[in-house]
Amino acid sequence: MSDSLHTPEAPHPAPGHEPGVSVRHTRDKGEPRFPDGPKADPAGSHFERRIRSFQPRRSRVTAGQADALQRLWPTWGLDIDGQRVIDLGELFGNDHRVVLEIGFGMGEATAQMAAADPATNVLAVDVHTPGQGNLLNLAEHHGLTNIRVGNGDAIILLREMLAPDSLDGLRVFFPDPWPKKRHHKRRLIQPEFLSLAATRLRPGAILHCATDWEPYAEQMLDVLTAHPDFENTQADGGFAPRPEFRPLTRFEGQGLDKGHVVNDLLFRRVQQPVRQHAPHRDIPPTGA
Ligand SMILES: C[S@@+](CC[C@H](N)C(=O)[O-])C[C@H]1O[C@@H](n2cnc3c(N)ncnc32)[C@H](O)[C@@H]1O
């Protein structure tokens, strides 16, 4: 899809919910922020002792985003509660190939890729509430029925809710770089994550990462190259040229403005015929 893919505001905002205005509403204790929308911490993972790749933040939600979260979540949203294995055919209403995107941010690139490839279903996951509302609005406005929006930690989705070999691809575009050394353990692309992701990817599926943080790009290349479940699609064993089908993301644009160099990595899930996986023990709890 072209640059015309922009974020619309809700067509009929509720009274007091003017476009672009942040929602400030006092709630009673225990009252959900969006009664029909995404739940706060759906898996209760707050209580799980594990290092997270994201920083929980309470972000302002515009009126248009709030409207989308309330109206569209029951149809297109998925709370990652870790309680069941999802039937992806049922979730999307067809048996098309499914690609998981972890950390879609505001979702503009997600929507563009979904629009350009309607035969691929995109399960897009993030913890960022405004972004969830934004992507729902984009999906509705552009009639993108091949998108579902996941709310919660992608690790729990992979570990508890996706069946082995159920994904045809995985996209991780501009994951939080966690530049400080003491925070490197929070980076998503680590050997344990790759072992878990590999179990959910069909052999031949592509893991596509991109980052504008060069030390992280080097780390990604090292751990992916060393991992037995993945092989580099690049004959020279290096970074891939940016594929034309990957649109510029919001975070990428900010990096480019600062003069950062962007690297793409395209690795293929290889066949591992003899290995058995223990899905619930792939990522052990670590003292956070
Ligand atoms: C730096 S932003 C990049 C967003 C977008 N891909 C872009 O390029 O503009 C990284 C995003 O990943 C999300 N994220 C990080 N770890 C996650 C996890 N384990 N599960 C779901 N989302 C995660 C963050 O909330 C954040 O929105």
What's the 74 CA to ligand 1 centre distance in angstroms?
A: 22
d(CA 245, CA 267): 16
Q: Tell me the per-residue pLDDT of 146-166, one tens digit each, with 9 for 90 and over.
A: 999 999 999 999 999 999 999
Q: What is the DSSP string of 52-89?
A: -SS-------BHHHHHHHHHHHHHHEEE--SSS---HH
Task: Give phi and psi for 265, each to the nearest 5.
Answer: -130, 130
Q: Is residue 16 part of a domain?
A: no
For the cut 70, the answer to whether the pLDDT of residue 228 exceeds it is: yes
Q: Is 135 in the pocket of ligand 1 (CB under 6 A)?
A: no
- The order of strands in the sheet holding 120-126 is 77-79, 147-151, 120-126, 97-102, 167-173, 201-211, 263-269, 230-232
Closest CA to 46 of 60, 36, 56: 56
For the cut 90, the answer to whether the pLDDT of residue 49 exceeds it is: no
For residue 101, the domain's CATH number is: 3.40.50.150
Share above pLDDT 90 across residues of the chain, in percent, rounded to a whole number: 74
The residue whose CA is least distant from atom 27 of ligand 1 is 105
Residues in the chain: 288
Confidence of residue 185 (pLDDT cuts 50, 70, 90): very high
d(CA 80, CA 154): 8
Q: Is residue 37 part of a domain?
A: no
What's the 273 CA to ligand 1 centre distance in angstroms?
A: 32
Q: Tell me the per-residue pLDDT of 56-65, one tens digit each, with 9 for 90 and over.
A: 777 899 999 9
Angle at which helices 129-141 and 63-76 cross, to 10° = 70
Q: Is 9 annotated as a binding residue?
A: no
Q: Is 155 in the pocket of ligand 1 (CB under 6 A)?
A: yes
Pocket test for ligand 1, best of 7, 41, 52, 54 (most atoms within 8 A of CB): 54
Confidence of residue 3 (pLDDT cuts 50, 70, 90): very low
pLDDT for position 67: 96
Q: Is 282 in the pocket of ligand 1 (CB under 6 A)?
A: no
Strands 77-79 and 97-102, sheet pairing:
unpaired
Q: Is 62 annotated as a binding residue?
A: no
pLDDT for position 120: 98
Task: Give phi and psi for 164, each to the nearest 5.
Answer: -55, 145
Q: Is 67 annotated as a binding residue?
A: no
Domains in the chain, number: 1
Pick the atom of ligand 1 nearest to 108's CA: 9
Confidence of residue 194 (pLDDT cuts 50, 70, 90): very high
Q: Is 187 in the pocket of ligand 1 (CB under 6 A)?
A: no
Angle at which helices 214-226 and 191-200 cross, to 10° = 60
The residue whose CA is least distant from atom 11 of ligand 1 is 103
pLDDT for position 128: 94
The residue whose CA is least distant from atom 22 of ligand 1 is 126
Structure tokens at 13: 């905002």
d(CA 214, CA 262): 8
**Where is pLDDT greater, at 114 or 276?**
114
Q: Is residue 151 part of a domain?
A: yes
pLDDT for position 5: 66
Region 15-28 average pLDDT? 52
Q: Is residue 26 part of a domain?
A: no
Residue among 168, 176, 229, 282 flagged as catalytic: 176
Q: Is 107 in the pocket of ligand 1 (CB under 6 A)?
A: no
Q: Is 240 in the pocket of ligand 1 (CB under 6 A)?
A: no
What's the 105 CA to ligand 1 centre distance in angstroms?
A: 5
Q: Is 250 annotated as a binding residue?
A: yes
Q: Tell me the per-residue pLDDT of 250-260, one tens digit each, with 9 for 90 and over.
A: 999 999 999 99
**Where is pLDDT greater, at 54 or 77?**
77
For the cut 50, the answer to whether the pLDDT of residue 284 exceeds it is: no
Q: Which residue segment(s) compose the domain that 238 sits in?
A: 45-281
Q: Is residue 137 part of a domain?
A: yes
Closest CA to 252 of 240, 241, 263, 244: 263
Q: Is residue 33 part of a domain?
A: no
Contact 166, 157 (CB under 8 A): no
User: What count of other Cβ atoms lies within 10 Å of the Cβ of residue 19?
Assistant: 13
For the cut 50, the answer to whether the pLDDT of residue 8 exceeds it is: yes
The residue whose CA is least distant from atom 1 of ligand 1 is 176
What's the 11 CA to ligand 1 centre distance in angstroms?
A: 28
Q: Is residue 34 part of a domain?
A: no
| Rg, Å, the chain Cα set | 19
pLDDT for position 45: 67
Region 43-64 average pLDDT? 82
Q: Is residue 112 part of a domain?
A: yes
Q: Is 126 annotated as a binding residue?
A: yes
pLDDT for position 50: 80
Q: Is 251 annotated as a binding residue?
A: yes
The pLDDT mean for the chain works out to 88
pLDDT for position 29: 63
pLDDT for position 16: 41
Q: Tell me the per-residue pLDDT of 76-90, one tens digit each, with 9 for 90 and over.
A: 999 999 999 999 999
Q: Is 70 in the pocket of ligand 1 (CB under 6 A)?
A: no
